[in-house]
Amino acid sequence: MARSANAKPLPLLALSVGFIVIWLIAAAFPFIWTTWGSFKVEPDFFSRSDWTNAITGTQTIRQTGAPFTGAGYEGAWIQQEFWKSVINTAIVTLSVVVISLTLGTLGGYALARSGYRYTFWILIAALIFRAMPHVTLVSGYLLPFFELGIWGYLPTTIIVLVAINQPFTLWMLHSFFLSIPKDLDESAMVDGCTRFQAFRLAVIPVMWPGVVTTGLFSFLLAYNDFTVTSMLLTQENQTMVPKISSFLGSTQAEGKVMYAVAAVVSAIAPLFVLVLFFQRQIVSGLTAGAVKG
Amino acid sequence: MPHKTFLAFILPSLIVMLLFVALPIASVVYQSLFIEHEQIMTEVENCGPFGCTVERRVDSQAMEALRSEQPAGRFNGLGTYFNSGHLAFERIGQIWDRTETWGDFIDQVMNLPFYKALIFTLAYTFIVTPCVIVLGFFIALGVNAIPGLIKGPVIFFSLLPMIVTPLIGSLVLYWMIDSRGIIGSALQVIFNDPTLSLKASPTLTWVTLFVYGIWHSAPFAFVVFYAGLQGVPRDTMESAMVDGASRWERVRFVTIPYLLPLATFIALMQLMDNFRVFEPIVGFSAEANATSLSYLIYSDLRGSDSPLFASAAATSVLTTIGVIILLMPVLIRTWRDFNRKA
């Protein structure tokens, strides 16, 4: 019934479908194109003569004998030791997610259950911290870290990323815990639990949807960070994103830009998988703040 | 919840934030009041076959000792804030005296590094944010209208520009707009100008960065609006239909007012994120034509042989002030809401 009343006139339908198609091309084509191009040689992907070379792979066939080549990946992963950065990224992101969720659930739970005025000030301070450009914080760390001799190590970077992530985690989990009925843990306390036991036995079993969503965003922050990791890590401890940016300086001159292209595609692939599996959680996480605040 | 329990729960989180967010802000303020030590010179006599010459050299040993004693440098007060690399009031005064027209004045002020960065940052923030909201809204309307079966894949691809690392996303586009890349060569054909390059002129670089910013953030606005559209009250919509509202009037008088609070939320998040624009400038190698406040700090810390802590710190403090001014309306509103509730 509602459907027939909502049926659109044909021109409007065509317009909106056309618009969505254009948007989809704009959103997806760059990634598809770069993934495709990463299996070609440089004169194809950056073709001076004819852009269709990138599709047909004319130069790739001439140079390697096949229309696709893994030379870029081999150069990046083995020659330039990109695999080391991948391991570093895995360590950093995993630690950041685990630590910031642990701290964040405890803090967010307390903020949601305490009725005192100071919770407001903590949340406001967190909002201001959330807005701080990361590079201003980094310029505050650099000198003290040099002095203390803790600059350049992975644990330093992990704890810094946890701290930068904390305001967002607190806000997210605070609003998530508000949506869990108070009665749940309060009845547990009436039954004789302490506050912490009530949290452990009554709240933890039902909090996983909110924690998973928040964890996804912590993961993205740590994985996507360039500012902190590029300034606080030594060359050998670099994670993927600063490693890719250092490729640009050193390899572009040597005509090895395809290494950077291959590394970029390698770094996008996990994100692609992440969206594929967690699309629903990402969407609900993005909207959680909007609907509640 | 009693104070003690509250503290026990929130303490770890609070300590981390105090140590690594609040303390660095204090450290930045402190560092900005100091400046690098002056070079300590010693005179060394070089005697060769053609007589002796006296040479002045930097006494590295004494410098080392001084640096370890006072790592932040020597006290400089607010000097760094007013030098030509930052607020440059003296230079602005000179330019004011020298120039005849407003256009000239603005042109010359734009050449001062701090103002150049500030103007780009503000332009980026206030151009990208509204465009993101508008584009996101139309994508949400469009996606809402398509059949349910293909919605999933459409949302999947729409999320990609936002999820992908900003630096990597900008590199992907940078390679495509290269004059040998697909978009770059397509533009050359369209405008029939084989020398056209998006990297060469400042205006085109700015436009490229704005387009990147919109592309990167539109999915966020889209997702929020799309979720909002699911909750537009059916009754209001139907009564508007009964009253004979056209399709556009229904969007204008029912949907948009309903989504307005969401638009405020998106605007707030976008203002915060766009004000710290940084990665695209690195990704697009645009620093010659466009720098942001964040980029200025980065280049002070990375650019020269030894990091310019004082200069970076002064820019950081000015940026922080900018953030607070930007957030002021929100803070005041939250304060009022909270008081009303209490």
A 10 A CB-CB count for B192 gives: 7
CATH number of B104-291: 1.10.3720.10
Q: Would an 8 Å CB–CB cutoff place A98 in contact with chain B?
A: no
Per-residue pLDDT tens digits for B112-168: 889 999 999 999 999 999 999 999 999 999 998 888 788 888 999 999 999 999 999
**The CATH number of A85-245+274-292 is which of 3.40.50.150, 3.40.50.1820, 1.10.3720.10, 3.30.300.30?**
1.10.3720.10
**Contact indicator for A289, A172 with CB cutoff of 8 Å:** yes
pLDDT in tens, chain A (293 residues): 344 445 667 888 888 889 999 999 999 999 999 999 888 888 888 877 777 777 777 778 888 878 888 888 988 888 888 999 999 999 999 999 999 999 999 999 999 888 788 888 888 888 888 888 999 999 888 888 888 888 889 999 999 999 999 999 998 898 889 888 888 888 888 888 888 888 888 888 888 888 998 999 999 999 999 999 998 998 888 999 999 888 876 655 566 788 889 999 999 999 999 999 998 888 888 876 654 44
Whether the Cβ atoms of residue A209 and residue A128 lie closer than 8 Å to each other: no
Question: Which residue has 């790592």 as its token pair?
Answer: B71
Interface of A with B in 149-178 (CB under 8 A): 159-160, 162-164, 166-167, 170
CB contact under 8 A, A133 and B157: no
Q: What tokens appear for B133 in the block?
A: 């909201």
CA-based nearest residue in chain B for residue A104: B13
**Where along chain B do its domains lie?**
104-291
Q: B10 is written with which tokens?
A: 């929130």
Task: Establish if A76 touches chain B: CB-CB under 8 angstroms.
Answer: no
Task: Report the alpha-carbon distance of residue A166 to residue B92 in Å, rounded.
Answer: 41
The set of long-range contacts for B74-81, using a CB threshold of 8 Å and a minimum separation of 24, is: B74/B34, B74/B35, B74/B37, B74/B38, B75/B33, B75/B34, B76/B33, B76/B34, B76/B35, B76/B310, B77/B33, B78/B33, B79/B35, B80/B32, B80/B33, B80/B35, B80/B310, B80/B311, B80/B313, B80/B314, B81/B32, B81/B314, B81/B317, B81/B318
Closest by Cβ to B172, choosing from A167, A264, A284: A264
Q: What CA–CA distance (Å, rounded) separates B160 from B173?
A: 13
Greatest mean pLDDT among A267-271, B255-259, B337-341: A267-271
Q: Report the distance separating Cα B96 and Cα B109, nearest Å.
A: 9
The pLDDT value recorded for residue A2 is 44
Pick from B8, B234, B279: CB nearest A226: B279
**Is ipTM over 0.90?**
no
Residue B286 near residue B212, CB atoms below 8 Å: no
Give residue B76's pLDDT. 79
How many whole angstroms separate alpha carbon B167 and alpha carbon B154?
24
Contact status, residue B316 vs residue A139, Cβ threshold 8 Å: yes
Predicted local distance difference test score (pLDDT) of residue A54: 77
Q: Which residues of B touch A167 (CB under 8 A)?
A: 17, 21
The pLDDT mean for chain B works out to: 86
Distance CA A186, CA A202 (A): 9
**Distance of alpha carbon B125 from alpha carbon B270, whole angstroms:** 8
Tokens encoding B140: 């949400």
- E-strand ranges in chain B read 34-35, 41-48, 51-58, 74-75
pLDDT tens for B29-45 read: 988 888 877 777 777 77
Helix A154-178 × helix A257-292 angle, to 10°: 30
Domain ranges of chain A: 85-245+274-292
> Do residues A54 and A68 make contact, with C-beta atoms less than 8 angstroms apart?
no
A277 close contact with B: CB closer than 8 A: no
Pairs of CB atoms within 8 A across A/B? 293
Handedness of CA B248, B251, B257, B260 (dihedral sign): negative
Task: With H, G, I as helix, E, B as strand and everything else as coil, classify residue B58.
Answer: strand
Phi-psi label, residue A4: left if phi above 0, alpha if psi -120 to 50, beta otherwise: alpha
Query: ∠B328-A119-A186 over CA atoms, to 5°?
Result: 145
